[in-house]
Amino acid sequence: GAVVSQHPSRVICKSGTSVKIECRSLDFQATTMFWYRQFPKQSLMLMATSNEGSKATYEQGVEKDKFLINHASLTLSTLTVTSAHPEDSSFYICSAPTLNTEAFFGQGTRLTVV
Amino acid sequence: GIQVEQSPPDLILQEGANSTLRCNFSDSVNNLQWFHQNPWGQLINLFYIPSGTKQNGRLSATTVATERYSLLYISSSQTTDSGVYFCAVVSTGANSKLTFGKGITLSVRP
């Protein structure tokens, strides 16, 4: 299957700082990528849709100024958590659909804000 | 939006047993996928199955789109099958946006 690479796999940052997470499609082009958030023992919740060459679209209740998304190329989307606080600690995971809409996921990023 | 319900929420099996995991969805879909989330959080693609039946080793899946459900079968379960199984769908017109069920936590005991 297709490969999606996400980095870093885990990060610890101080409260008030910003953290950037990268999501790359390695063997296919993705005009659209998706960012999810998962709290312990819960399901994945879609945060936003990243669109190459245009603005991201955010799900209801997700602060776009806090979670900045950039889709600079057909293979790279980034999520920046700005002014992180302990409540932003979570597991963030990206996905990219192939042409037939089958989605492949990155390895995920475990963010801890201290 | 579309609703995805998975059952049972938790399942405990003895190694070697068979099991069936169910996914019901509330609207028509043009994509349905089953995933296994490993202990490190990675989602492993098991099946892309908007309709029909597929088999891969000890795992098989069937989706009956007209009746809005999908089943994942695990035969001769192994301890390495333990983890969380998610069903996720893309409703018709949802532009590849996956909606996940709450997951089924499977524990296979030796």
Of A38, A103, A110, the CB nearest to B98: A103
Q: What is the pLDDT of residues B56-92, one digit of tens each?
A: 999 999 999 999 999 999 999 999 999 999 999 998 8
Q: Please report the pLDDT score of residue B94 as a whole number.
A: 72
Q: Look at B99 and A46 and tell me if their CB atoms are within 8 Å.
A: yes
Of A43, A97, A102, the CB nearest to B102: A43
Q: Look at A101 and B96 and tell me if their CB atoms are within 8 Å.
A: yes
Q: Please report the pLDDT score of residue A98 as a whole number.
A: 85
Task: Tell me the CA end-to-end span of chain A in Å, nearest whole number.
Answer: 37
| DSSP 8-state code for residue B81 | G
Q: Please report the pLDDT score of residue B9 as a whole number.
A: 97
Neighbours of B97 (CB within 10 A): 22
Between the alpha carbon of residue A50 and those of residues A6, A64, B42, the distances in Å are 15, 12, 20
Q: Does A95 touch chain B (CB under 8 A)?
A: yes
- pLDDT surpasses 90 at B93: no
Residues with Cβ within 8 Å of residue B20, at least 6 apart in sequence: B71, B72, B73, B74
Q: Look at A102 and B99 and tell me if their CB atoms are within 8 Å.
A: no
SS3 content of chain B, % helix, strand, coil (to 5): 5, 60, 35
Of A42, A45, A105, the CB nearest to B43: A105
CA–CA gap between residue A26 and residue A13 (Å, rounded):
27
> Which residues in chain A have Cβ-Cβ distances shorter than 8 Å to B40?
107-108
Q: Look at B41 and A110 and tell me if their CB atoms are within 8 Å.
A: yes
Q: What is the pLDDT of residues A64-80, one digit of tens each?
A: 999 999 998 999 999 99
CB B56 within 8 A of CB B62: no
Q: Please report the pLDDT score of residue A8 as a whole number.
A: 98
Q: Does A93 touch chain B (CB under 8 A)?
A: yes
Task: Work out the average pLDDT over B23-40.
Answer: 94
Of B33, B95, B102, the CB nearest to A103: B33
pLDDT range class, residue A101, cuts 50, 70, 90: confident
Q: What is the pLDDT of residues A80-99, one digit of tens each?
A: 999 999 999 999 999 998 87
Q: Please report the pLDDT score of residue A113 as a whole number.
A: 97
- CA B67 vs. chain centroid, Å, equals 16
- Among A4, A2, A3, A8, CA closest to A92: A8
